[in-house]
Amino acid sequence: MSTLVCFHAHPDDEAIATGGTMARAAAEGHRVVLVVATDGAYGEVPDDLAEGETLSDRRREETVGSAKALGIHRVEYLGYRDSGMTGWDGNDDPASFWQAEIDEAASRLAAVVRDERADVLTIYDWHGGYGHPDHIQVHRVGKRAAELVAADLPDLRVLESTMNRDHFRRGVDAARELGEDLGPDGLGGDDGFDPDGPMDDGNPMGTPEAEITLGVDVTDYVFRKRAALTAHASQVSDQSFFLNMPDEMFAFAFGREWFIEHDREPSSDGPRPGWLFD
Ligand SMILES: [Zn+2]
């Protein structure tokens, strides 16, 4: 049995980015731990908050449901405030994750990784997939945490979760051919979603396939991923595009999760089909 720790920016990121991997690891008997950096306070505010209930309270509760769907054994929060998208006021909030001192945040994550004696830690790629400040910070803090635990856990492997830009483009092209409406109500942009267009920080989304080393097949777990997304009910209009996808399209888009392993060279044949613990 191995232990997997997945580090994410906001409640609900776990479902879409590494949900299949976590569900598969749990189903195979591994221990799965989720660490969430922020409270997700910039999410959508539902109409039915109870007296005294905050959005963060609600999102924690929803994360319990998501964790249940994915088979996650432990959920920890680092306790930072959501920083919002690039340029938002929240970027300057001293309590935000974006303003957090890297070493301080990394030591909080490192405490969990050490306590769990983790075998694998997942973080995000250098621009957090789409440039959201909190996602960029997951990369920076995650890398630093790995350095902090290196002496205690010399075999810890750090994998960067990313989106496969080429795979996404193929999916978008196939969906357009089938006449699926991909925008403006789909993934944004007047002409529909363009995987090569600028994201939050001006870079295109994810990583070119040629730089990705590992593609994890989670086809058997996409139903759990869908259930985890559904558990984040307050954020559902953000996710309705994904949740409304026909099963086949959802399986194409989310049946594989992509990682960059810096201890392996990318292959000219594309990402290696494999598993975290291979
Ligand atoms: Zn996020």
- Indicate whether 114 belongs to any domain: yes
- Indicate whether 61 belongs to any domain: yes
Q: How many angstroms does the Cα of residue 136 sit away from the middle of ligand 1?
A: 10
Q: Are the C-beta atoms of residues 153 and 117 closer than 8 Å to each other? A: yes
Residue pLDDT, tens place only, 108-142: 999 999 999 999 999 999 999 999 999 999 999 99
- Of 19-33, 107-121, 229-243, the one with minimum mean pLDDT is 229-243
Residue 191 has pLDDT above 80, yes or no: no
**b/e map 164-194, b = 16+ CB within 10 Å:** bbbbbbebbeebeeeeeebeeebbeeeebbb
Q: How many angstroms does the Cα of residue 235 sit away from the middle of ligand 1?
A: 11
Q: How many angstroms does the Cα of residue 9 sit away from the middle of ligand 1?
A: 5
Q: How many angstroms does the Cα of residue 276 sit away from the middle of ligand 1?
A: 22
Q: How many angstroms does the Cα of residue 268 sit away from the middle of ligand 1?
A: 31
Domain that holds residue 138: 3-165+209-274
Number of domains in the chain: 1
- Indicate whether 203 belongs to any domain: no
CA atoms within 13 A on the CB side of 255: 10
Find tokens 């990318």 and name the residue.
266
Residue pLDDT, tens place only, 63-104: 999 999 999 999 999 999 999 999 999 999 999 999 999 999
Q: How many angstroms does the Cα of residue 122 sit away from the middle of ligand 1?
A: 15
- Indicate whether 187 belongs to any domain: no
Q: Are the C-beta atoms of residues 20 and 224 closer than 8 Å to each other? A: yes
Find tokens 């399209």 and name the residue.
249
Q: Are the C-beta atoms of residues 70 and 26 closer than 8 Å to each other? A: yes
Assign 188 a pLDDT band (cuts: 50, 70, 90). very low
CATH number of 133's domain: 3.40.50.10320
